[in-house]
Structure 1
Amino acid sequence: MKVLAVVSVLCVLTTGYCQQGNLVELAEQLGAKTLVALVKEAGLAETIATGGPFTIFGPTDEAFSKLPKFILNYLSKNKTALQDVLKYHVVSGKVYSSQLSNELEAASLLAPAKIRINIYQGGKVITADGSPVVMPDQNATNGVIHVVNRVLFPIPLETMVDAVKNDRQLKTLLTAVSAAGIASALGADGLTLFAPTDRAFAKLPAGTLNNLLKNKTALTDVLTYHVVKGTDFSAGLSNGAKVATLEGKNVVVSIQNGEVKIDNAVVIRPDDAVTNGVIHIIDNVLIPPQYRQDPLFRN
């Protein structure tokens, strides 16, 4: 893959975007063996090779190896599900990286599902549903491949609120959101939610949660302190970053040895893509600065 990448760069610099066979042939040249095998298994190879033009966000072999084996086994036994996953990685038309913009929602071949594009660090990092593009603009006769290092799965079909409703470890958060009446605010597009688990809420001092549920102003402040305007997947978070929340104050990101913390909370499940942004599951409730010495949050 490295040799082909060098050839591709030289080709672009000297002649513009070079064509290296159709999309299936190009994927084979790129060494995306698992992707090609699954496309053939799903019966989509002829369409991808002769149709289009298409833009493919093509996962590497390593990306597929990161999926749990039971998911790969399920997809291999369920042709419709496999087709759906693969179609979700494909967009109609030939779209180069220079045409991508932050928070763009690209309609995939799996209607109505859309791929959310985010651009971080002044354009140095491009992600598709949070998966970094590691090799952009690989040109084929009938389209273009952007190589990504994570499979775009699960397919985001739920809103942020619905995802919270359907997650068994977020029952307390759902209760709090309902009590504060902020479900509509969580329906806006392009949001990041740092979602505390039930266990996280259980760590609060005795009586704190009940008192919060009776104090709508404080409850709203606490909950909106967990929400960021803008879709910040893991690839967009950097050590020491201060991120503005809907509550108005900043949360601080720290990254050490692969562990990501938001203030004092560890991200225990990152990058749950939803139709209007992303959810990161955290192990502590985030407390806005003005409440950290408040008797409400002490025993």
Structure 2
Amino acid sequence: MLFFLVTILSLQAFVAHGQVENVFSYLQHNGNFTTLVKLLKESGLAGTLATSATPLTIFAPTDAAFAKLPQSVLDQLSTDPQALADTLKFHVTNGIIISPMIQDGTEFTSLSGKNLTAHRYANQKYVIQGVNIESGDKIVLNGVIHTIDSVLMPSDVSISEYLGTHETNFADLYAALVLEGFENALEFGTYTLFAPRDDAFAQILANLPTIAADDTYFKKVLMYHVVPGVWFSAGLTDGMSLPTLAGTNLTISVQGSGVYVKTAQVIEADVPLSNGCLHVIDDVLAPPK
């Protein structure tokens, strides 16, 4: 309640002191959003952010966030007006969203019609679609701006579907899930998967027939990589212990900029999916027998 009061008073102060910065003019004058401003103008969404009579909230990617995108993606957005408009609208919601409203699992409807899912962790870090919110709650005349460090993308596929369509890296893992009849379980529910790539499976290839021959243990190996709930890297802290579907816990360690799950290193983090997220790891995890 206090924050809502502060918000109202801040908006009144803008008007009283002649500060009429709107969402778009703030982005335009800030200097960290030149790519976003350019694309907003190209899409026609700039006018909406400048003149909307109802409050809007934007999760605004910085220039550094856009620089992470492959050039081919930027080229596609520049040549496909509908894709550009949908992508940018996915970053904007009606109404005022301030940080106390961002809780674990909270969903907001974007202007594109697709939902944005937020997560907040015990360390008080919070993410939207798995993307870190670097700074938030910048209140302007007609809304709120949160600065984010990556471009938001909708998550339309489940964990199982993602593995099945990325056979270049996960053919062995997906085949193992199918073999054990476990792939359907990853269509539903909400999970975090620590996913070994095929080159990780290759490292244990000599022992794989022996492991697979013990069907109960092999299934336990697969379930040992799956944690209930959604744990993006923002919520992973040194020494934390996460329960797995195998019934035993995984210990997380953070060493410098590296994140480890037991002895396996996370080599690609934070793939957002429709029913959770995926982290790519460089080794197959072995649960205690």
TM over 0.5: yes
8 Å contact from structure 1 (residues 266, 283) kept in 2: yes
Query: Taking structure 1 as reference, are residues 14 and 45 closer, same or farther at Cα in structure 2, changes over 3 Å only?
Result: closer
Task: Give, in whole Å, the separation in 2 of the partners of 1:159 and 1:106.
Answer: 19
Query: Taking structure 1 as reference, are residues 108 and 215 closer, same or farther at Cα in structure 2, changes over 3 Å only?
Result: farther
8 Å contact from structure 2 (residues 7, 139) kept in 1: no
Which stretch has the larger CA shift, 130-139 or 48-57? 48-57
Q: Structure 2 regions of 5+ residues with no counterpart?
A: 15-19
The alignment-based identity, stated in percent, is 37
Match of 1:58 among 60, 68, 87: 60
Task: Give, in whole Å, the separation in 2 of the partners of 1:187 and 1:29.
Answer: 44
Show the counterpart of 1:229.
Answer: 228
C-alpha displacement of 1:13? 9.1
Show the counterpart of 2:24.
Answer: 24
1:200 aligns with 2:185: no
Show the counterpart of 2:92.
Answer: 90
C-alpha displacement of 1:270? 1.1
Aligned residues: 277
C-alpha displacement of 1:214? 4.2
Aligned AA (1:136): G
C-alpha displacement of 1:200? 1.0
TM-score (structure 1 length as normaliser)? 0.84
Match of 1:81 among 80, 83, 89: 83
Show the counterpart of 1:125.
Answer: 125
Task: Give, in whole Å, the separation in 2 of the partners of 1:215 and 1:88.
Answer: 46
Task: Give, in whole Å, the separation in 1 of the partners of 2:273 and 2:229.
Answer: 13
Q: Structure 1 regions of 5+ residues with no counterpart?
A: 1-8, 291-299
Task: Give, in whole Å, the separation in 1 of the partners of 2:125 and 2:62.
Answer: 17
Task: Give, in whole Å, the separation in 1 of the partners of 2:59 and 2:91.
Answer: 5
Show the counterpart of 1:41.
Answer: 42
C-alpha displacement of 1:12? 5.0
Task: Give, in whole Å, the separation in 2 of the partners of 1:68 and 1:205.
Answer: 34
1:115-162 Cα shifts (integer Å, max 9, x gaps): 22111234x211112222122111233321111122214x31111111
C-alpha displacement of 1:205? 4.7
Task: Give, in whole Å, the separation in 1 of the partners of 2:137 and 2:275.
Answer: 26
Aligned AA (1:272): V
1:188 aligns with 2:188: yes
8 Å contact from structure 2 (residues 10, 139) kept in 1: no
SS at match of 2:93: strand
Show the counterpart of 1:281.
Answer: 280
TM-score (structure 2 length as normaliser)? 0.87
Task: Give, in whole Å, the separation in 1 of the partners of 2:135 and 2:283.
Answer: 36
C-alpha displacement of 1:70? 2.7
Task: Give, in whole Å, the separation in 2 of the partners of 1:13 and 1:74.
Answer: 38
Aligned AA (1:221): K
Task: Give, in whole Å, the separation in 1 of the partners of 2:21 and 2:92.
Answer: 18
Aligned AA (2:25): E
1:226-246 Cα shifts (integer Å, max 9, x gaps): 011121111111222222212
Show the counterpart of 2:165.
Answer: 166
Aligned AA (1:182): F
Task: Give, in whole Å, the separation in 2 of the partners of 1:22 and 1:126.
Answer: 25
Task: Give, in whole Å, the separation in 1 of the partners of 2:136 and 2:78.
Answer: 28
Task: Give, in whole Å, the separation in 1 of the partners of 2:205 and 2:273.
Answer: 31
8 Å contact from structure 1 (residues 239, 255) kept in 2: yes
Task: Give, in whole Å, the separation in 2 of the partners of 1:16 and 1:187.
Answer: 45
1:72 aligns with 2:71: no
C-alpha displacement of 1:68? 2.4
Task: Give, in whole Å, the separation in 2 of the partners of 1:189 and 1:95.
Answer: 27
